[in-house]
Each structure stands twice: as C-alpha cells, then as structure tokens.
Amino acid sequence: MNPAEWALLRSRLVLGQALQGTVLPIPWPAGVTGIFVDLGLPVIGFVDVLLLPDDPDCWPTTGTVTDFEIWWIDERPQIRLKPVDAAYLRDDYDAWATKIPRRRVTPALVSNLPLAEEAVRAWKSGW
C-alpha cells in the first residue's frame, strides 16, 4: 500500500472504531510479541502483547473471528487493535489502562497535510 492509499484509508478510520477480524497465524511462539488480524482491509491489524492475557494459552487462536477496536493508527500502514472480548484482554486491563497517558490524535494527522492532499488527488484520479 502506498502512502496516498494509506492516508485515504486512515482518513476513514477513527480511534475506538469497532472492527471484526480473523486471527492470523503468527510466525513466532505465542507470548513473544502479539497477534496479527485480518480485518478484510488492505492492511492488517496487530494486537500488542501488552494488551493480551499473560497466559498465551488464553490468547485467541488462529482462525478465531472476534471483535476489536482501533487502539492506535499513525503514519505506518498498520492498525493497532484492542480486543473487545474481555477474555482476550490482559487480566488487569482496567487498572493498567488508567496508568497510560492517552495521546490525543486524529486519523488524519495535521503534520501529514501534504500526504492527505496527495491521497485526495490520487482518489480523484481513480488511483
């Protein structure tokens, strides 16, 4: 996906937005980094190990279809996700989340205005 396509897609996504996805096979042992999720979009989703239960046996397995919410999106063509099902969240999520300073961001970052303009031009020309 080129930067213009990503900027256009990102402009249609918002933090906290619900998405359903299918857990993909991971190329390393469970518990190391996190899980990848097929969202049916041109980019994949990723759930960081910090958001998943301590016990990797409690993680959603390959092929599991479940709901996620957008946790973070930025200039990289990847969607960071948080599982909606509490069974797939770290055990102390509520207490842990209150300690995290949340940055205020919008999907169309002001610092990327030229990129957003490029996305609009590309879209209008039929990419």
Ranking 48-57, 61-70, 117-126 by mean pLDDT, the lowest is 117-126
Cα-based angle 91, 29, 35 (whole degrees, multiple of 5)? 55
The model's pLDDT over 76-90, given as tens digits with 9 standing for 90+, comes to: 899 999 999 999 999
Q: Any idea how long the chain is?
A: 127
Instruction: Considering only CA atoms, give the Rg of the chain.
Output: 16
The closest of 95, 19, 98, 31 to 59, measured between CA atoms, is 31
pLDDT at 114 > cutoff 70: no
CA–CA distance, 113 with 47 (Å, rounded to integer):
28
pTM for the full model?
A: 0.75
pLDDT at 96 > cutoff 90: no
> Any idea where the domains of the chain sit in the sequence?
3-124
Name the architecture of domain 3-124.
Answer: Beta Barrel (2.40)
List the beta bridge partners of residue 19.
68
